[in-house]
Chains A and B, each alone.
Chain A
Amino acid sequence: MVGQNQNYITYKKRRMIKILVQNLVKKFGNKVALKGINFEVEKGEIFAYIGPNGAGKTTTIRILLQIIKPTSGVAKILYDNEILSKEKIGFVLENEVPLEKYTPFEYLKFYGEIYKARDIEKKIQILLEKLNLKKREKDKIATFSKGMKRKLCIAKALISDPEVIILDEPLEGIEIEARKEIRDILLEIKKDKIIFLSSHNLYEIETICTSVGIINEGKFIGKWQFEEIKGKSLEEFYFEKIKNVRNENTP
């Protein structure tokens, strides 16, 4: 029995997934976009990464996705202490536009093949059903509303059944129904995954996220579990933290 438990623990340990950011610095010429950021996100968390425009959220995401390289420091997505394969990371970039000449099926099939996903056609059907896009399966994406396009980008991020999902402003400028559908699907898939969400929409964050990290002017202010900020709204908490930092910085 003990042996069995030990095996189970070993198995659980091997499947450890985490996002690790240590002393992350990014400079664009003379401008310092990230000033030594540190945080960790673990399996099962829906982590909200919030901050004002130009705080460094998108830069952090680009480094995590290895689109750009850091000036110094580390930003890794680990699976059992090794770098997680890119096929297991789903993502949606800020202002990403799906391939509009394709139908949803063609679009998801293309990315499914690029991601080398299994059972692509079956997964497409499930995703289209869940995101309420089945009726428009054969229409060109160009004819879709902004919300529907965003939902398709999310479906693309999920096509490879990823362990980590990174979403940069996924709910920006989309209608209420689409927002709810995206929220529901994220809550459904969160088990055993990491969802890293950058957003300005504090209401959505409060509804779906389990932890929050605040960044301001390239500095990471801190990370909190939602239990720690009970009694206050996220908006109050956010402004309090931002105000404290600004006061500290004022001579």
Chain B
Amino acid sequence: MKTLLKHELIYFYIKSPGVIFFNLFLLLFIVPTSSYPIFNLREKSQDLALILSALYPAFVIILCSLNFLTTQIYSEKGNRNIEVLLGIGITPFKILRNKIISVALVNYLLYLIPMIFALFIFYFIFNIKFNLPCDLIFFLNIFVFSPLVGVSIISIIGMLCLLSSDPRYIYIIFVLGSFLFFFSFPQLSKVIPFKSIAQFIMYYPFLVILFLIFSIFLCKMVLKKVPPEKYLL
């Protein structure tokens, strides 16, 4: 469905460049400042840095996506554009899939550019050294695996956004849950040592792929089972 994906990208992003530039401008400030401790930690506690590299990018990408999910899914429901597509014969899953791919693509780029910018600052200004063979898992997490977790969670949030009558509740639960997790994170080390969690990170790529498959399967099954009248009318 190239036409639908092209439409999502043109209509919601290229036609509204202001939103993109505003988000990019914010992230160019937020990403370097908030990721600096993670990069700095690599020398003091490699285990903790590894764990955070698996969580932080997903969190940033999801937070950025929430606003776009509202516009692309919830508002479109109100304008009846989703119902029009259903009437033409496009399935709810295909509609959601194209929306999620466009949100994920744009927000990955919005995360990637400030992250590369941050790496330059860390290397040239703060003299943080990168040891690529040793840091390979760390960088794979930062650029590939953790963003993929973000995409999986975005698809589940997107599906809930399509089904719900007010997506703000989903966002509030997500944001509160995330902050609660990050604030209670230091306590977690008393229960499970960071070293044990870091060893678990070795299996992270497989778990990420499994989670991505699970989220796609979940969206497909739920949208197949729930009749459109439950969320459209």
Q: Which residue numbers of A lie inside 8 Å of B, CB to CB?
A: 28, 62, 65-69, 86-87, 89, 91, 93, 95-97, 99, 101-102, 110-111, 113-115
Q: Are A101 and B80 in contact (CB under 8 A)?
A: no
Tell whether, in the assembled complex, residue A93 and residue B3 are in contact, meaning their CB atoms are under 8 Å apart: no
6 closest A-B pairs (Cβ-Cβ)? A86-B89, A65-B87, A101-B15, A97-B79, A113-B3, A68-B229
Contacts of B233 in A (CB 8 A): 28, 68
12 contacts between A and B (CB under 8 A): A66-B86, A66-B87, A69-B227, A86-B88, A87-B88, A89-B87, A97-B79, A97-B81, A99-B81, A101-B11, A101-B15, A114-B88
In the complex the two chains form, is A68's CB within 8 Å of B80's CB? Answer: no
A96 to chain B: closest residue by CB: B80
A97 to B232, CA, bound (A): 15
Residue of B nearest to A116 (CB): B3
Complex CA–CA separation, A102 to B3 (angstroms): 15
**Residue from the list B3, B11, B229 in contact with A28, Cβ < 8 A:** B229
A167 to chain B, nearest CB (A): 12
Q: Which residue of B lies closest to A166 (CB)?
A: B87
Rounded to whole Å, the gap between the CB of B95 and the closest CB of chain A is: 11
- B84 partner, pick from A28, A66, A93, A101, beta carbons under 8 A: A93
What is the 8 Å Cβ interface bit string for chain B, positions 54-91, against chain A (1 contact, 0 not)?
A: 00000000000000000000000001110111111110
- Kindly state the separation between the CA atoms of A111 and B88 in the bound complex, as whole angstroms: 9
Minimum distance in angstroms from B102 CB to a CB of chain A? 14
- Which of chain B's residues has its CB closest to A106's CB? B10
Nearest CB in chain B: distance from A141 CB, A: 11
Minimum CB distance partner of B81 in chain A: A99
Tally of A-B residue pairs with Cβ under 8 A? 53
Return the chain A residue nearest B16 by Cβ.
A101
CB-CB under 8 A from A114, the residues of chain B are 3-4, 85, 88, 90
On whether the beta carbons of A93 and B85 are closer than 8 Å, the reply is no
Please state if A67 and B81 are interface contacts (CB–CB under 8 Å): no
Residues in B with CB closer than 8 Å to A111 are: 88
Question: B7 in the interface, Cβ–Cβ < 8 Å?
Answer: yes
**What is the distance, in angstroms, from A109's C-beta to the closest C-beta of chain B?**
10
In the docked arrangement, what's the CA distance between A111 and B85, Å?
Answer: 9
Residues of A within 8 A of B84 (CB): 93, 96
Least Cβ–Cβ distance between A115 and chain B, in angstroms? 7
B75 to chain A minimum Cβ distance, whole angstroms, is 10
Given A99-B81, A114-B85, A115-B88, 14 additional A-B pairs, CB 8 A = A65-B87, A67-B83, A67-B86, A67-B87, A67-B228, A68-B227, A86-B87, A86-B89, A91-B87, A95-B80, A97-B80, A101-B15, A110-B3, A114-B90
**Closest CB-CB distance, B83 to chain A, in whole Å?**
6
**CA separation between A99 and B85, bound complex, in Å?**
12
Residues in A with CB closer than 8 Å to B79 are: 96-97
A66 and B11 contacting across the interface, CB-CB below 8 Å: no
Shortest Cβ gap from A196 to chain B (Å):
13
Q: Is the CB of A99 within 8 A of B11?
A: yes
In the bound complex, residues from chain A placing their C-beta under 8 Å from that of B229 are 28, 62, 68
Chain B 12-42 residues near chain A, CB threshold 8 A? 15-16
Cβ-closest chain A residue relative to B12: A101
Q: How far is the CB of B121 from chain A (nearest CB, A)?
A: 36
Report the bound CA distance from A66 to B11 in whole Å. 26
Closest chain B residue, CB of each to CB of A97 = B79
CA distance A97 to B76 in the complex (A): 10
Question: Is B89 within 8 A of A66, CB to CB?
Answer: yes
Question: Nearest CB to that of A64 among chain B residues?
Answer: B87
Given contacts A86-B89, A114-B3, A114-B4, contact A93 B80 (CB under 8 A): yes
The CA of A101 and the CA of B17, in the complex, are separated in Å by 12
Nearest CB on A from B8, distance (A): 11
**In the bound complex, what is the Cα–Cα distance between A115 and B90 (angstroms)?**
10
B171 to chain A, nearest CB (A): 24
In the complex, what's the smallest C-beta–C-beta distance from B130 to chain A, in angstroms?
A: 42
* Cβ distance A250 to chain B, nearest Cβ, rounded Å: 31
Taken together as a complex, chains A and B put the C-alpha atoms of A91 and B81 apart, in Å, by 12
Q: Is the CB of B232 within 8 A of A67?
A: yes
C-alpha gap A217/B95 in the complex (Å): 33
A101 to B15, CA, bound (A): 7
CB neighbours of A69 from chain B (8 A): 227
Are the C-beta atoms of B88 and A93 separated by less than 8 Å?
Answer: no
A86 to B87, CA, bound (A): 8
Closest-CB distance, A32 to chain B (whole angstroms)? 14
Contacting A at CB under 8 A, from B71-126, are 79-81, 83-90
